Each structure stands twice: as structure tokens, then as C-alpha cells.
Amino acid sequence: MNLETFLESERIYLRALNESDIKGNYALWLNDPEITYFNAHGRFPMTEDKLLSYISSVNSSKSDLVLAIIDRTNNQHIGNISLQNINWIDSNAEIAFLLGDKSYWGKGIMYEAGCLMVNHGFKFLNLHRIYCGTSVVNLGMQKLAEKLGMRKEGLRRHAIFKHGQYVDIVEYGILSSEL
């Protein structure tokens, strides 16, 4: 374990975002139409200044825990995972995923990161519920949510406008008692 490590598993560790991440491929991920295809990123260009401001904001936030996903073999920043919109009164938060390095797609990295984050949310942040939403066409994210033990909870009709059309969002959630 190195000094930056916050959470770790066999293949990855999670750490706080830092300014050096901006010099890597991070900004490129958020401007890549393939990476942002299913999410709300990619609507406005991402710049280094915007990213620096974002990193500063989330690192001082009490309602967002945004962590870099790092490959243990090469210490490369490959994506992010977050518990965001943490509601301390109702004890819930939204989990969000961004796997920016396409060479890691389909290798179970986000499941590994998701397990770390869900466990941390329930056991260390005392959350009662963790939830996420994803486009009805994002089958990969739906499979990930289910693999993490989340249950389908509902549908937000025409909740996101992507690629010239309104798309429904499927909602998932898991309770601490279901882990």
C-alpha cells in the first residue's frame, strides 16, 4: 500500500483525485464521444481549467466522495468512481462510474471498484441506501448494478436527452441490509 491509497483490492486501488491527473488522459475521457455515450458528460467541452476546479471542489466536498481508480501494476489512472449527492440525514448516496481507459473495458474493473465503494459507503459512512441510474440502452451498466446486488427500482421516463432523443433512465438501489 502506498501513501495515496484510500481503498484497495487485488488489481486496483482508489485514491483522491489530484492535479497531476489533469496532465494524464482524464480531460480526454470527458471529451470522447464513445466514453461519454451513455452519461451526461460530453455536452460541453472539458478543459484543464474546468477539471482543476472540479477536482478542487470534490476534494473539499462533504457530499461527494470522488476517487481515482488506479491500476496497481502500473499506477495508471484509468477511471473514477464516486459516491455523490451524499444525503447525511436520509443516509443515502448515488454511486457513479467512469472507466476512461478503454483498454480496461470488459475486464471487471468497475465491479471491483464498485464493491470497494459500496462496502465503504455502508460500513464506514453509515449509509443505508446506495442508488444509481442509467440509460435504458446502457446494458453494461445495468448488468454491473445487478452484479453489485442492486435491484431495479423504477424508471424515469425521458429523463436524459442524448443523441437527438429523450431516453429513459432505469433506477437501481441496494440497502445496507442487502449487502
Strands 92-99, 129-135: pairing is parallel
CATH number at 61 reads 3.40.630.30
Quick: pLDDT tens for 85-120: 999 999 999 999 999 999 999 999 999 999 999 999
Cβ partners under 8 Å of residue 72, min gap 6 = 8, 10, 11, 12, 13
Average pLDDT for residues 8-33, to the nearest whole number?
90
Q: What is the pLDDT of residue 171?
A: 98
Residue with grid cell 440497502, as numbered in its chain: 175
- Give the three-state DSSP class for 98: strand
Residue 167 lies in a domain: yes
Say if 81 falls within a structural domain: yes
Number of structural domains (the chain) is 1
- What is the length of the chain? 179
Encode pLDDT of 132-151 as tens digits.
Answer: 999 999 999 999 999 999 99
With beta carbons less than 8 A apart as the criterion, state whether 118 and 148 touch.
yes
Domain-located, residue 1: no
Residue at 2 is within a domain: no
Residue 86, domain member (yes or no): yes
Tell the burial category of 23 from Cβ atoms under 10 Å away from its Cβ (0-12, 13-18, 19+).
exposed
* Residue-range definition of the domain harbouring residue 126: 7-178
pTM of the model: 0.93
What pLDDT is recorded for position 1?
A: 66
